[in-house]
């Protein structure tokens, strides 16, 4: 079915169903439009098994491939048994006794611990940190660092320092902020009726701050509509992604779509239309998860292409560390991070 090879990283990130690859998985991974793969809890049995799976994925793809996971900490941590538990980011301010220096150190050590363990099993990035504020969104909640955007800026910056120290790139989400809207974009399309000024001065502040300080390597837009800014959901809006994010904020990193299977993405039609709209709006990589038939439909029928600029941006997210599970426990950064977080894990 799919035999073409590509030296480029295509714009589609797909998933696989199980703990090992099927023949169809292997064929899809070789398709030139496929440039990434995201892993879930269903793919995990043990650290050794997931390391073997990522090695099999790279062998099957036989080209540069970005492997990702949502391993934020707290309730969004895909691998648990055999991995260190990472605290929810919303707990860190309290663990640090509401002292910004102590909380920043805990944020940094959380990132180091997470990144080292994820990279040791062959994964390039975790989609973190959350730059949303903890306001009224239940789906965000304690995934966010704090309600105060200034504190979010400080803790997220320290978290990114930890990622970068051990070689992982940072992905901020969900631009320009999902925390101040109640609906869950997995289940519905949230609409945030607040003024442009409030959105830009409050929710967007962490994104703007980390972009200005060159701390964020990739961003993931929210499946949210902000009618006072643009009638399109952010991830399908060229105004949000090309004009505001690229031109006004000067962001030069990767833009990932959020999962196009989410209900919040249905506002633009079926999967083919979603993929086309997201790429046309400015997304470099399109996440197509939990619906294999629709993923194949997009590959076969969507008018999407491999873009040279996107390819160069995506290549920068690949991990450079070759250390595996055998070297992990001897790593001094890992040891120190475990000790720093021991009483909270």
Residues forming a β-bridge with 76: 73
- Confidence at residue 5, expressed as pLDDT on a 0 to 100 scale: 41
DSSP state of 19: S
Residues forming a β-bridge with 285: 256
- Confidence at residue 206, expressed as pLDDT on a 0 to 100 scale: 97
Q: Are 185 and 264 in contact (CB under 8 A)?
A: yes
Q: Are 93 and 103 in contact (CB under 8 A)?
A: yes
Known catalytic residues are 186, 258
Q: What are the backbone dihedrals phi and psi of residue 112, each rounded to the nearest 5 degrees, phi first?
A: -60, -50
Token pair listed for 230: 């643009």
The whole-model pTM stands at 0.95
How does pLDDT run along the chain (345 residues), one tens digit per residue? Answer: 333 344 789 999 999 999 999 999 999 999 999 999 999 999 999 999 999 999 999 999 999 999 999 999 999 999 999 999 999 999 999 999 999 999 999 999 999 999 999 999 999 999 999 999 987 787 888 999 999 999 999 999 999 999 999 999 999 999 999 888 876 656 668 889 999 999 999 999 999 999 999 999 999 999 899 999 999 999 999 999 999 999 999 999 999 998 888 666 677 788 999 999 999 999 999 999 999 999 999 999 999 999 999 999 999 999 999 999 999 999 999 999 999 999 887
Count CB-CB contacts under 10 A for residue 297. Answer: 16
Orientation of helix 100-120 relative to helix 149-165, angle to 10°? 40
Please calculate the CA angle 28-33-34 and round it to the nearest 5 degrees: 50
Q: Are 133 and 64 in contact (CB under 8 A)?
A: no
Q: Are 278 and 236 in contact (CB under 8 A)?
A: yes
Pairing of strands 71-73, 76-77: antiparallel
Q: Are 200 and 192 in contact (CB under 8 A)?
A: no
Phi and psi based region of residue 16 (left: phi greater than 0; alpha: psi -120 to 50; beta: remaining)? beta
CA distance to 146, 206, 219, 248, per residue, from 253 (Å): 25, 16, 7, 14
Helices and strands in the chain, H and E counts: 13, 10
Task: Quote helix, strand, coil % in the chain, to nearest 5.
Answer: 45, 10, 45
Q: What separation, in Å, do the N-terminal and C-terminal C-alpha atoms of the chain show?
A: 46
| Matching residue, tokens 């990702």 | 68
Token pair listed for 231: 């009638």
Q: Return all residues near 327 (Cβ < 8 A) that are at least 6 apart.
A: 120
CA distance 107 to 130: 12
CA distance 290 to 292: 6
Q: Are 223 and 265 in contact (CB under 8 A)?
A: yes
Q: Are 93 and 150 in contact (CB under 8 A)?
A: no
Q: Are 67 and 36 in contact (CB under 8 A)?
A: yes
């Amino acid at each position: 079915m799919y035999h073409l090879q590509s030296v480029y990283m295509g714009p589609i990130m797909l998933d696989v169903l199980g703990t090992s690859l099927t023949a169809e998985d292997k064929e899809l991974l070789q398709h030139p439009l496929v440039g990434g793969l995201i892993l879930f809890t269903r793919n995990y049995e043990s650290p050794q098994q997931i390391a073997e799976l990522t090695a099999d994925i790279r062998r099957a793809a036989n080209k540069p491939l970005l492997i990702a996971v949502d391993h934020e900490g707290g309730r969004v941590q895909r691998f648990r048994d055999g991995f260190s538990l990472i605290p929810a980011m919303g707990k860190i301010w309290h663990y640090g006794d509401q002292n910004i220096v102590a909380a920043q150190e805990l944020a940094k050590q959380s990132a180091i611990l997470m990144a080292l363990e994820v990279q040791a099993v062959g994964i390039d990035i975790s989609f973190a940190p959350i730059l949303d504020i903890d306001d009224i969104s239940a789906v965000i909640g304690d995934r966010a660092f704090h309600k105060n955007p200034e504190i979010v800026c400080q803790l997220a910056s320290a978290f990114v320092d930890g990622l970068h120290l051990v070689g992982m790139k940072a992905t901020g989400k969900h631009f320009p902020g999902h925390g101040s809207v109640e609906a869950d974009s997995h289940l519905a399309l949230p609409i945030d009726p607040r003024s442009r000024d409030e959105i830009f001065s409050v929710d967007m502040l962490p994104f703007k701050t980390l972009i200005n300080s060159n701390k964020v390597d990739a961003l993931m837009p929210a499946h949210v509509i902000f009618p006072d800014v643009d009638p399109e959901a952010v991830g399908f809006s060229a105004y949000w992604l090309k004009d505001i994010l690229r031109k006004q904020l000067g962001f030069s990193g990767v833009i990932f779509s959020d999962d196009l299977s989410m209900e919040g993405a249905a506002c633009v039609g079926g999967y083919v239309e979603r993929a086309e709209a997201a790429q046309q709006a400015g997304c470099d990589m399109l996440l197509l998860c939990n619906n294999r038939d629709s993923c194949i439909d997009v590959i076969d029928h969507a008018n999407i292409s491999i873009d040279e600029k996107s390819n160069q941006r995506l290549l920068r997210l690949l991990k450079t560390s070759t250390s595996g599970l055998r070297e992990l426990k001897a790593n001094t950064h890992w040891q120190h991070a475990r000790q720093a977080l021991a009483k909270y894990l």
